[in-house]
Each structure stands twice: as structure tokens, then as C-alpha cells.
Amino acid sequence: MAIGIKPSALRQTRWHEYLIRFALGGLATVFAGAMAKMFGPETGGLFLAFPAIFSASATLVEKHERQRKEKAGLRGTRRGKEAAALDAAGAALGSFGLLAFGAAVWLLAAYSAGLSLLVGSVAWVVVSVCLWSIRRWIGA
Amino acid sequence: MTEYVIRFFVGGFAVSMFAVLGDLFRPKSFAGLFGAAPSVALATLAMAFWNQGPTYAAIEGRSMMIGSLALCLYSIAVCQLTKRYETGALTATLASLILWTAAALGGKWLLLG
């Protein structure tokens, strides 16, 4: 399947689900800052890759896929879990992109804040998408 | 206190934006890439640059690399639990947090002391 955008998927998500993700994201950022303040940047930095909203996202993916299948008159429990597994497989690849982001900030922070965050973001996209494409290409 | 309030709103916004992108894209394995988006990192590091300076942000970036490897192990664990053992997503993601914590702290201890 080629990469595509499905705007109708946004209608599947209820407003309270957006609110939960916003709150969890906000709390994760506060938590990461608090950890850095308490234990220093070496420990605090670990929490920049903490899977804070992964539970909420994976549960939503599972729920939406299950509902979609049940609407079509099929048993969706298994498909829901498979969708969550695929989501996690994507995140495993994306974590290498996150590693590249961290490396860019580590190496470029001394030169410019904006540049290091920009290069880090581009590195995240490039590494993540390349790894995903390679995985599709080899059929893993 | 004000700093934490700002952190909450900036982080919540960044995480929400990446989550919406994840909802939009297909196939699901591609959308999953956004589960490892640097949303919390962007918000936190931008504030670290602003408040503590580049050296502090660089140290956080270096540790983040260890956290990312822990996230990779975490994601693989969630994938295996849901696919092979048909564990529910909520149980799998919460149980695997133990693995992330052990890998991140263990990795830091091994690599940075």
C-alpha cells in the first residue's frame, strides 16, 4: 500500500480523545522538565523519548479498527490488536529517527538552537521514512 | 510555576499536532512513525535552550539517544505482545513501560555512568 492521507479518519476521533492526548502530552512535557530539574539533564534527557502518549494512541488505534470491522459485521477484536501491533512496529522504526534527532541536537546545539532543532526534525523525518521504505522494500 | 504551565500547553500542542498527523496517514505502519515523533523533545529542548543554554540542551540531546533506543525496545515489545500473544493494547503498552525504564536507566548507567 502506498503512503496516503485519509482525512475522514479524523472524524473517528472524538473531542474528548483529542483532549486526553493534549493533556497527556502536556503532562509528559512537564514530567520531562521536572525530571531534568530533579536529577539533571543527563537523566532528564532520557524522558524526551518516554512513550508518554503511546498507551492512549495505541488504544485508540485498536478501538477504531475494532469499531470499523464491527460496523461491517465482522469480529474486530483480532484486527484491532493487529492494527495496534502495526502502529508499534512503525514506532520502533521511528525511534531511530528520534535517535537521529537527539544526535543532531547533541552535535549542533553549540552552534545554534534553531539550526539544531531544524536539522534534528529533518533528520527524524528522513531516517524514519527511509527505514520504513527499506522495510517495505525487503518485505519484512 | 509559570514555566510548568507553559511547558504543559506547548507540550500538549506539539503532541496533539503529531498525533493528528499520525491519524491522517495510511498505512498504519507508516502512521506509527508518528508514535516516535520528537513532540515532547521539541517543546522541552526549545525551553532548555531558552532557559538553561546550549550545553544543557546538548546533554539532554545525548541522553535522548539512549531513551530512543529504549523506545525501540519498548515498541518491539508492544508489537510482539499484541501480535503474538494477542494482549490488549492498553495492557501491552503499560506493561512494557517497565522495559523502557529498565533499558533507559540501564543504558545511561552503562554508557554515561
- Residues B24-83 pLDDT 10s: 888 878 888 988 999 999 999 999 999 999 999 999 999 999 999 999 999 999 999 999
Interchain CB distance below 8 Å, B58 and A105: yes
HSE-CB for A131 with a 13 A CA cutoff: 23
Across the interface, whether the CB atoms of B46 and A113 are under 8 A apart is answered yes
For chain B, the structural domain boundaries read: 1-51, 63-113
Give A13→chain B minimum CA distance, Å.
Answer: 9
Reported pTM: 0.91
What mean pLDDT, rounded, does chain A reach? 89
Residue among A33, A40, A55 minimizing CB distance to B4: A33
A101 contacts B41? CB cut-off 8 A: yes
Nearest CB among B11, B31, B60 relative to A44 is that of B60
Most confident of A20-29, A52-61, A71-80: A20-29
Beta-carbon separation of B38 and A48 below 8 A? yes
Quote the ipTM score. Answer: 0.94
Beta carbons within 10 angstroms of residue B95's beta carbon: 13
> Are A90 and B82 an interchain contact pair (Cβ–Cβ within 8 Å)?
no
CA quadruple A117, A47, B91, A27: dihedral sign: negative
**In sequence order, what are the beta bridge partners of B26?**
A4
Give residues with Cβ within 8 angstroms of B66, minimum separation 6.
Answer: A45, A46, B104, B107, B108, B111, B112
Closest-CA distance, A80 to chain B, in angstroms, reads 9
